[in-house]
Structure 1
Amino acid sequence: MSVPHDVYNYTELTTSYMGFFYSEQFSKLFNTTHTGAAHSSAGMDYSVLGKTITTSLCFCLVQLTLFSFFRLMFKDLYQPRCYCVPVNERMDVLPRGFLSWIIPTLKYDAFNFLPLGLDAYLFVRFIHLLLLFFSVIGTLNIIILVPINWTGATSTHTSRGLDRLSLSNISPENTTRLHSHLVMALITISLFHWLVIYELQSFVKIRQSHLLSMRHKLKISTSTILIRNVPEYLRDLDVINQVFSVVPGGIKNVWFLYDFTGISEDVNDAKEAMQHLEMTEVSHLKKLLQIRHNDQTIDILAEMKNYQNDEKFYPPIHFKSFHIPTLDRKVRIKLPGFLRIFLRQKKVLKRDWSIQTLTAKHKSIENWKQLLSQGNIPKHSKLFIQFQSQTGAYVAHQCLLSQVQGNLDFTLIGVNSNDVLWHNLSRDNTVGYIVERYAVTLLLIAIIILYIFPVSFIGLFSQLPLLVRVIPSLRWVYAFPGDIRETLASLLPSIVLTMLTELVLVVFRFLIYFRGKATGCEIELNLQTWYFVFLFVQQFLVVTISSSITVIFKQIIDQPTSIPVLLATNLPRAATFFFQYFALKAFAFCGNSFLRIDQLILRYTIHRLKDRTPRQIFFRKTTLLKVRWGSLYPTFSVFSTIGISYCIISPLVNVFIVFILSLTLLYFKYALRFIFSHVNHSETHGRLYPIALLHMYAGIYCLEGCLIGIFFLSRDQNGNRSVSIDGWIMCLVLMVTIFGHITLYNRYVKHFSLLPILDDKKYENLTRREDGSFDFETLNRPPNHGPLIDREYYSNLKLHLLHPAFSYEHPRIWIPQDEYGIASMLITQLEEEVGDLKGGSNKGAIIEQGGRFFGPKISIFEAPPDYK
């Protein structure tokens, strides 16, 4: 069914109130006709898609082959959760067979990911859900609609290439065939709603069961809330206890937010000095070992004194932090030490500087701790309160706390002490703070809009002759054979789109931090929405709509009812682009993620040069990758949105969606089990999942809007609107969808972040005795939860939610053991000079002779002596 491009006049718009804001300069700025890059793939031939898939598949298979081989060699890189975590947290190692990792990974049940947190488990569930949905509707739509589309052409109307499988191939003589598309759309939309309702109900049960479990309740964070805008007269322990005595159970602990700037800077300086000291000692050890290796009769004690004075450097330049009143931010500048050359300063001995700095900073840190114990450190307008029970915490969290407007007006529950963004938390709610938040919001919106320009030029990469004229330095591509150039031209748009998307993600994370979020969890939740909007606009709308951006904006605002026309005239022509996009994305994601070639290269280059002490090696190996769910969920929400939008228009898209979801599931089942850290400080306890489900409605709206436009625009050979009744039916379906969307949101939104405090469900099946009274005895029996062990429960309550700098303890020197006992002598000598470094050790690390280029090799097999 070919929709003519001149059905609706996009250029001659009626004068409206938009004219007040509209100008010719504005039109010239945004009036680019290079949008709709996906239209360059319209009518793509089967051979072109086959070459794209074959090329991508070959690269992927090579990467998976290398992964299967390297997996057995570099175990700490490809299976770190089997070797680089505490023994009681290690996973069972997979069999050593070359491909023996595939079947066990696929069979691994999703429920096994629950210990990693609800975010991990629900993401795997999300991929399973999408696989089920697109497998079912894909099978139905391909079996029913593809034959209808394929045979819907006539001698005067036939689409080209892959478009023959889509709705675009139906000729005016066969417009009545569109009735089948209406029926399948109704089935698809009904199945979508059934799945969403089922999953939201399941989410509520799963989340409540998790939050109400005894293991979770024992965590300090479950009964602790963060309160902002605490007035000065309430920043007293006795007053706070009295004020919150109305909360059931009362208060258990209170942590004020003290001014941590001074002690934090001292702790950072002390850690830096300690790092330089260990590097110096290891460097001395290597030199002494080399001397001892060459001359067994050398006097090591004499040589130790000689080499203590041979390593000089320019120490880093630290400025005192200064306050920016307008933004209520403290900034500290650190400059590299080589800049001291311009001040004509001389180098200093690294060992002496490290010892002096460490001694001075330790003394300052002890003074800060003394001031804290005396209550002489200023307090900020935030505090943490731990209540006696989880119920008390949620009562306080769900109530309006203060009678004074603006006081105690923001609470946050379930804060992980390791997830707090202390510099954001220390800021007061000033005018500058509020302005900064809105300025960042406007900047995020501007990026979403202005990113249209780089994305709009993606189409150039599929037209090599034009691209070479624009960038003459690319003439070398003509050295390749024609088939390779054709394949390259089909791959480049998808590659460039992926690169542009990754770039903006970094910018979004940076900007959202400046919106004043108190925790990483809040950043992930906020990022999910912003990133989804960006991806939906740039990866879908911009690359599919061919009209001028200016015209689109004016058209939507002037006549919103023309949106279906806009979708109907653009979406069908862009279908084949997403075939390529999903195929390339699937193979590239799978191959790159498994192989991790960047980490493999860094392991034998940069890391070998940077990791100069056992402590550096230990933290690099044991600091496992962590999933940032705030950017992962929206990625697959957008994929599902695109799939839903095209599942009726071009059913073949379901094959590629299922393909990318299957490879994604394979990777994350392996990675969550063997690669990613099991600790997620920014855990949202599943709050990302229902938002991801509701984001999928964008695809339903696009599908319905596009079909409305197609049904109303379609005319038979006599010029009659033969399927207009289908359009009216779809309009009704759109209204029902909007109503259902709003109803579902209003019904479940409180369950996204709140917790029921009444245990009313257990009374549902309460039985009556013979005398008519209720039997409450069975309800009051305590449940048998079994043994419970939770490390956080036994942590130091006094320091738990204070800034980490206040819990700093004197470090213990750690250098590797050697065959001559030189390390022990170095530690003893250092402890005699610096009393704060008692308890040094050379256990858990060993140094051995290495190659010429990298020198002696350091190996570790235990944690540092001061590791917690």
Structure 2
Amino acid sequence: MATTIASGHGGHRSSSSTSGAAILAAFIPTFITAVIYIAIFAAIRNKYRKIYAPRTFLGVVPEKDQTPESSTKGESWFQTYRKLPDHFVLQHNSLDAYLYLRFLKFIIGVCLLGCILTWPILLPANITGGGTATQLDRLSFSNVESKNILWAHVLVAWVFFSAVILLIARERLRLIGARQAFLLDTTRSARLSSRTVLFLNAPPEACQPEYMGKYFGNDAERTWPVKDMGDLEELIARRSGTAFALESAEVDLIKHAVKRNKKQSRPVNGASSLENGQTLVPEAERPKQRNPPVVGSKFDPIDKARKMIGELTARIDTVRAAPGRNIPEQAAVFVAFSDQAAAHRAFQEIKFGPTMPMQDRFLAVEPKGVLWNNLAMPLSRRLSKASVALAFVIAFTIFFSIPIGIIGTISNAKYLADNVKWLRWLNDLPPVLLGLLTGLVPPYLTSTFVSYVPKLFRHVAKLSGEPTTGQAELKTQTWYFVFQVFQVFLVTTFSSGAAAVASQIIQNPGDAPNLLASSLPKASNFYLTYFILQGTSSAASTVLNYSDLFEFLFYERFMDKTPRQHYSTYAKMKGTPWASWYPKFTNFLVISIVYACVAPLVLGFATAGLTIYYFAYRHQLLFVCQTKVDTQGEAYKRALQQMPTGLYIAELCLIGLFSAKGAVVQTTLMVVLLIVTAGLNLVLDRMLRPLELYLGVDVWQAQEVPLLAQEDNIPIDDAEALHASAHARRLGLRKLPDPAPRILSDFFDAIITSARGQLASWLDETTFDGDDSAPLKEDDIEKAYTAPAFTSKTPKLWIPRDKLGVSKEEIAQNDEAGLVTTDEAAEIDDEGKLHWDHRFENVPIFSKAKII
């Protein structure tokens, strides 16, 4: 019976097999779309350099970090793209940006290795497996009936999965060396942030300067206690909003005056009007508003805004000076140490209170990445908010399976039409339309639905109490990866594979294992088309980036009214949402590993799709994107730690499939492999955690030498032995019998040192005539880690000048109200159109970033 059902199921996919039709139907439209996208990009790229090459000229990118581009004509940009190495991104963008390109190359390499190992062995084995599957299904596990053939799958699984474990371990070691080189680089180590540590949940006494030495040691130089802000941020937001509203109203007034003058054809003589004590715009023609709207009394919004800004400023000053702005009971404090080594030692050694399940110390935090509202939060509140956030994410991830499951069943519409009476009308659809429905629509809908999830998770992570944007991004990355694996992989795989045989399982429950063993591998059809869609049109869409182009043109032409708004739109650059990028492609690797022995063809499609994506993201990081959230390599580390998930799922799937075939010995071997994989990964995590969490550079371990020499019986003048012993201790290898600690330590240390040396040499290649960032003054250092709510000033207003002199009149009135205003670098012409100077050095509200 089982054979008959399985045979019928495979035979059902003959000439109109979902595999062949779906692959073709997905490839043709997506390939055509990709070609069109790339053609459009090539045609408009040089015209819209603001969108497609801002890193080559935009003033917000320091000149030393701009990507060279000799000309905006012809194909010169492509020559630059081709010639620049990946480590140019390291030198001129960020460590995270470079590591992301390395991440893509790493997973491409793993998938390519999988193709090399699986295709010569498993494709012939599956084809001759004794089943009755047709077309592409013959290449998958679903065509295997002979138990002897399963030995090929066991062999490949042991070899490939072991290789993946070793590759991940090697890459984690190289990442440790890369991070060490980057953090120790002379330019970076000299920064104030590199020797500053943020401590949460510190006692209030530790935040007092007079007790700094007692709590943080003699190497502590300066502290910045985090004070309670109360409603300061809300007041400052209201003041800034009111100032920008005043700015907008004054621009409208100037435009109105210019247009009025043009209609009346008057000669321009603003000076004489001012001399007579009259305003250039009569009171009756000044803009008016009503409060409440429609029925309320009229008022002048400009006068009201000036008055409101003064009131808010006075209130802000009062609140800042109030004694209530003190240090909370469970305080947070930034501590600057004498050098980077002292900061890292303090980060490793200083603790307050019992160990909690939440991190309470953060190293090298930059002020621009601090979430100030979350710092002074009591521990109990932080724990409760984190718990609520986690519960929400779990619930959201589970219930999101409803739409994803429905989408997954669409990929097997043909099977459903044959087995569900009210869906039989699907069989009447033209083959091309049915192919589009089953091949293109499901992955497209999945990709679209899922794209909005990380934005939600990122918002929840910031609300959960994380102290920095980097930590919130890492939490989002973890959540989104779980979501990707659960929804995009597990739910979709089950709904795609199980839906095809659900009715047969109901009719013959005893045949469920055989039915699932033959049908679940066919869920790979979804991922073949999913990788096609992602690797063609989605990758091309990443390069074309039409959404940002349309947004820029829309705001530039219709929404932006003031010089500030035009400047803000023009200066805005695309960021690097690591929490969105990493999990998506880590899940790509998970899917590829899981299907490596089940449907090896998936590896080839994944390799091709990921390669195209690599070239797309390489262009983005060289020419377009600016790193706005700095994780200092933590995002890549987390992705590497998540990759073994694919191994666990793959081994569990093979255990289930072998068991369903009744292959006891093969099943046992896969259980052993699962245990070995889990054990190796656990040991690797424990060994590498100290080096990944703490910098662990040997040059900082001089204080260990006497201790090591005494405890390990090592001559104090044997530098090599002392080095190996120190390294073995940090890796937790001392429990192993000799000479294992020394051998493993030397092996690991060789990989770390090699990576550190390579990255250091690239950083040494970067030589500049000078640093174009603003240098830090003593006042800057004093306020470096003080919340902006305590230091921010009323924004400088920027309005355009005009020939009538209305802007001069408004500037004079603003000065009387204590509001600094300028009309430099912007003007209104005689037609009432706004023009502003795109050279950032002339923009009055532009200032060079201070690197702390």
TM-score grouping bracket, smaller chain normalisation: 0.7 to 0.9
> Are 1:825 and 2:795 counterparts?
no
Are residues 102 and 709 of structure 1, via their aligned partners in 2, closer, same or farther at CA, if it must alter by over 3 Å? farther
Say which of 333, 355, 378 aligns to 2:326. Answer: 378
Q: Please list, as runs of the form range in 1=range in 2, the aligned pairs for 1:200-599 lying within 5 A after superposition.
A: 200-244=172-216, 247=217, 249-294=218-263, 295-297=265-267, 299-300=269-270, 301=273, 304-306=280-282, 310-313=286-289, 340-341=292-293, 345-368=296-319, 371=321, 377-380=325-328, 381-402=331-352, 410-430=360-380, 432-459=381-408, 461-462=410-411, 483-546=432-495, 568=517, 571-599=520-548
Amino acid at match of 2:344: Y
Give the corresponding residue for 1:125. 102
Shift of 1:71: 0.8
CA distance in 1, matches of 2:661, 2:622: 52
CA distance in 2, matches of 1:609, 1:142: 55
> Are 1:687 and 2:670 counterparts?
no
Contact 2:826 2:834 in 1 (8 A): no
SS in 1 for 2:224: strand
Q: If the length of structure 2 is used for normalisation, what is the TM-score? A: 0.80
Shift of 1:643: 0.4
Amino acid at match of 1:305: V
Shift of 1:54: 0.7
Amino acid at match of 1:590: A
Q: Which moved more, 1:120-129 or 1:608-617?
A: 608-617
Contact 1:218 1:793 in 2 (8 A): no
Give the corresponding residue for 2:755. none
Say which of 115, 125, 128 aligns to 1:148. Answer: 125
Give the corresponding residue for 1:61. 35
Say which of 175, 195, 199 aligns to 2:171. Answer: 199
Can you list the C-alpha shifts for 1:277-311, whole angstroms capped at 9, x where unaligned? 22122212222332444525255446723269621
CA distance in 2, matches of 1:749, 1:545: 35
Are residues 47 and 748 of structure 1, via their aligned partners in 2, closer, same or farther at CA, if it must alter by over 3 Å? same
Shift of 1:789: 4.8
Shift of 1:209: 1.3
SS in 2 for 1:304: coil
CA distance in 2, matches of 1:360, 1:748: 56
CA distance in 1, matches of 2:517, 2:649: 10
Shift of 1:135: 1.7
- Aligned CA-pair RMSD: 4.0
Are residues 565 and 500 of structure 1, via their aligned partners in 2, closer, same or farther at CA, if it must alter by over 3 Å? farther
> Are 1:844 and 2:825 counterparts?
yes
CA distance in 1, matches of 2:14, 2:566: 50
Can you list the C-alpha shifts for 1:415-461, whole angstroms capped at 9, x where unaligned? 1111111122232224x543332222222222222222222111454
Can you list the C-alpha shifts for 1:573-628, whole angstroms capped at 9, x where unaligned? 21111101111122232232222222222333344332111111111211211112
CA distance in 2, matches of 1:101, 1:567: 52
Shift of 1:152: 3.5
Q: If the length of structure 1 is used for normalisation, what is the TM-score? A: 0.79
Are residues 708 and 461 of structure 1, via their aligned partners in 2, closer, same or farther at CA, if it must alter by over 3 Å? closer
Give the corresponding residue for 1:112. 88
Q: Percent identity?
A: 24
Contact 2:262 2:830 in 1 (8 A): no
SS in 2 for 1:624: coil
Contact 2:594 2:647 in 1 (8 A): yes
Unaligned runs of 5+ in 1: 7-38, 316-339, 469-473, 553-562, 716-720, 766-771
Give the corresponding residue for 2:844. 865
Unaligned runs of 5+ in 2: 7-12, 418-422, 503-511, 706-714, 723-760, 848-852
Shift of 1:538: 0.7
Contact 2:25 2:440 in 1 (8 A): no
Give the corresponding residue for 1:33. none
> Are 1:185 and 2:151 counterparts?
no
Are residues 41 and 809 of structure 1, via their aligned partners in 2, closer, same or farther at CA, if it must alter by over 3 Å? farther
Give the corresponding residue for 1:652. 601
Can you list the C-alpha shifts for 1:195-248, whole angstroms capped at 9, x where unaligned? 11211111111111112222222122222122222334444221234333xx2x
Give the corresponding residue for 2:505. none
SS in 2 for 1:444: helix
Can you list the C-alpha shifts for 1:238-287, whole angstroms capped at 9, x where unaligned? 1234333xx2x432111121222344333222211221222122212222
Are residues 53 and 263 of structure 1, via their aligned partners in 2, closer, same or farther at CA, if it must alter by over 3 Å? same
Q: Please list, as runs of the form range in 1=range in 2, the aligned pairs for 1:751-770 lying within 5 A after superposition.
A: 751-756=691-696, 758-759=698-699
Shift of 1:833: 3.2
SS in 1 for 2:225: strand
Shift of 1:158: 1.5
Shift of 1:648: 2.0
SS in 2 for 1:685: coil
CA distance in 1, matches of 2:5, 2:699: 60
Give the corresponding residue for 1:138. 115
Say which of 654, 661, 667 aligns to 1:727. Answer: 667
> Are 1:165 and 2:105 counterparts?
no
SS in 2 for 1:288: helix
CA distance in 2, matches of 1:764, 1:139: 47
Structure number with the higher helix fraction is 2
Amino acid at match of 1:124: L
SS in 2 for 1:215: helix
